[in-house]
Every structure is written in C-alpha cells, then in structure tokens.
Amino acid sequence: MSEHAILTCSPAETQALAAEFVTKLSPGSVLALHGDLGAGKTCFVQGLAQGLKVQQPVSSPTYTLVNEYRGHLPLFHIDLYRLQTADQALDFGLDEYLEGDGITAIEWPERAASVLPQQALHVYLEHGQQEHQRRIRLPHIL
C-alpha cells in the first residue's frame, strides 16, 4: 500500500487531518501509530475521536492500556508503551480489540507487531523542524 506525507504546523492541524482520515475508515480498521515520545500520536487519536463525534475528552491510556470511546463508531485507543512482548499484549486482551467493530488505534505497535493484522494501517508521526510541526505519513486508503 502506498503512502503520502503531510506536514502539519499545529496540534489543531494534526487533529483536523486525523478527523478527515477517520471518515475513510470502515468498522474493524486497525491503525498502528508509530512515533517517538511527543510525536503526536495521542493528538492524532484526539482527531480521530473528533471525526467520530466522540463527546468525551481523549487522553493517553499509558497506565490503563486501553481507553474506549463511543461515537459514530467505537474508538479503542491502546497504548503498548509499558509492555515488552506480544504475549503481554495478548494477556490483556489485545486480540479482542483487533477483531472489534470500531476503529482501533494502537500507540507503540512494534511491541506487539507479530499479532497485528496484516491489513493494519501504519501511520508514522515525526517531529518537524519547528516545535509544533509534525510530518505524518499516512497510507493511501482510497
């Protein structure tokens, strides 16, 4: 699958990009969000939530591992930062979210790469040259 890169210049632009992107996804889509600490992964998920009309605040699930939100489709926000292996991810039930009826967004997906579905969509977020700039590589899905 080919991809394209977009440069955003603020958290609001990153969220708007994600809000538009989520409208092209279907139930059961799994997003693998790659990026260093502070690269904008949670900000991107906040935009997904906006696009899905989620009404509650979206925050990082670093300590809870999963946050679930209800909108037009369910949004499952998973953060694997604290895990070391795919087995640990399976122990908390990751496989159930991978087969869900909503949109699943996974931060630090490399911690469970061996169990991600082959059709997972990989999104790469990188720091730009200026403080709030982000270079975001998205898969072409249409």
The helix/strand/coil state of 34 is strand
DSSP labels, 73-138: SEEEEEE-TT--SHHHHHHTTHHHHHT-SSEEEEESGGGGGGGS-TTPEEEEEEE-SSTT-EEEEE
Give me the pLDDT at residue 24, please.
94
Q: How many domains is the chain partitioned into structurally? A: 1
Tokens (6 digits) for 115: 């169990």
Q: Residue 6: helix, strand or coil by DSSP?
A: strand
Question: pLDDT by residue for the chain (142 residues), tens digit each?
Answer: 677 899 999 999 999 999 999 999 999 999 999 999 999 999 999 999 999 999 999 998 878 899 999 999 999 999 999 998 999 989 988 999 998 899 999 999 999 999 999 999 999 999 989 989 999 999 876 5
Read off the CATH number of the domain in which 75 is found: 3.40.50.300
Please give the residue range of the domain that contains residue 39. Answer: 3-139
